[in-house]
Structure 1
């Protein structure tokens, strides 16, 4: 099924409506669609590298708008709606991420292969401040899509192979850096006199 959806997305790359398809796939993926827009973004940037940053902007905008839809689904539906999308044990793990990292959890999920849609819905269900959600979504999703588009623009097809091979490792390194930064900020805040 995923292979068919991915193939369908790649067929859009040659369409005059490809940018609109990219935008709507990014919106849908952030709230309910199972295939990330990266596939179409990569195909479009390979096809026209000079439009890479524009395409990353379109993808980021669509993803953050879709994330906002997910946020309000969670906000209005609460934990019961979250239970319709994910198992209770996963909800518990997501809740612990929010308790531990706050908005950073959204940024990390937005950048990595962690299903972002779970965090968009959870953000609303757990009443994360909307402004924090938007800023961290822009940072995480923008970081991801601009990194993909920029690397494809600079290195072409060789970068596609590297992304496929090492994306999870790169994401893990980024998570460690972000978590370390968050921990350092936490320690510094704790050390401040009241």
Structure 2
């Protein structure tokens, strides 16, 4: 099923309405959808490198708006809507553990790592941020920085290196993302314990 969903999402890149689909996928990825917007963004930016930054802007705006929807979902509708969504994706136990052991510092790290590297999935963090009551303006700022950094970095790489970087990104994205996330976490631990 996941492979079919991935293939369907990828097929959207060839449509005339691809930019709208990119916005829709980026929006729902941040609150309920399983497939990351990168699956659609990468082939779109490669087929039209002159629009890579435009697509990055569309994906960033839609992703942040989807994140805000996830925040509201967690803040106002956790029991009725968010909990069943998390159960459906098998993320409820992970979510409950995070909810019970999370302070604002960890939420900030999770927003950055999930925005940059999908670690943990962005939908988990947006809902969690609403449940624990992260200030909505701080949440929006962090979402803009993290999601914008991700899409604009991809745009720069694709414009500069083209098709060869696509294969590199697709093959090693998990490793690159894990290293970036580890660096952010280590930085947080160092700052916390040095004070």
TM-score grouping bracket, smaller chain normalisation: 0.7 to 0.9
Which structure 1 residue ranges, 5 or more long, are not aligned?
none
After superposition, the CA RMSD in angstroms is: 2.0
Alpha-carbon shift at residue 62 of structure 1 (Å):
0.5
SS at 2:31 equivalent:
coil
* Equivalent in the alignment of 1:16: 16
* 2:102 corresponds to: 98
Distance 2:122 2:158 in 1: 22
Distance 1:24 1:82, change over 3 A: closer
Quote the residue 1:121 is aligned against: 127
Aligned-pair distance for 1:143?
Answer: 1.6
Secondary structure at 1:175's aligned position in 2?
Answer: helix
For 1:31 and 1:5, how far apart are their aligned partners in 2? 17
Kindly tell me: are residues 157 and 75 of structure 1, through their superposed partners in 2, closer, same or farther at Cα, counting changes over 3 Å? same
Normalised by the size of structure 2, how large is the TM-score?
0.87
Select which of 135, 143, 152 maps to 2:158.
Answer: 152
How many angstroms does 1:104 deviate by? Answer: 2.0
Quote the residue 1:58 is aligned against: 58
Q: Aligned equivalents of 1:2 and 1:108: distance in 2? A: 23
Deviations 1:89-128 (A, max 9, x none): 3124423673252322111111113311011111101111
Q: Go from structure 1 to structure 2 and tell me whether the alpha carbon gap of 1:98 and 1:152 turns closer, same or farther (over 3 Å shift).
A: farther
Q: Does 1:89 align with 2:93?
A: yes
Distance 1:15 1:80 in 2: 36
Distance 1:116 1:157, change over 3 A: same
- Contact kept in structure 1, 2:67 and 2:143, CA below 8 Å: yes
Pick aligned residue for 1:138 from 120, 125, 144 = 144
Q: Is the 8 A contact 1:41 1:149 kept in 2?
A: no
Tell me the equivalent position of 1:70.
Answer: 70
Deviations 1:51-79 (A, max 9, x none): 11111110011001001001000000246
After superposition, the Cα gap between the structure-2 partners of 1:97 and 1:53, relative to the gap in structure 1 and judged at 3 Å, is: farther
Query: Which secondary structure state, in structure 1, belongs to the residue aligned with residue 113 of structure 2?
Result: helix
**Correspondence 1:174 to 2:169:** no
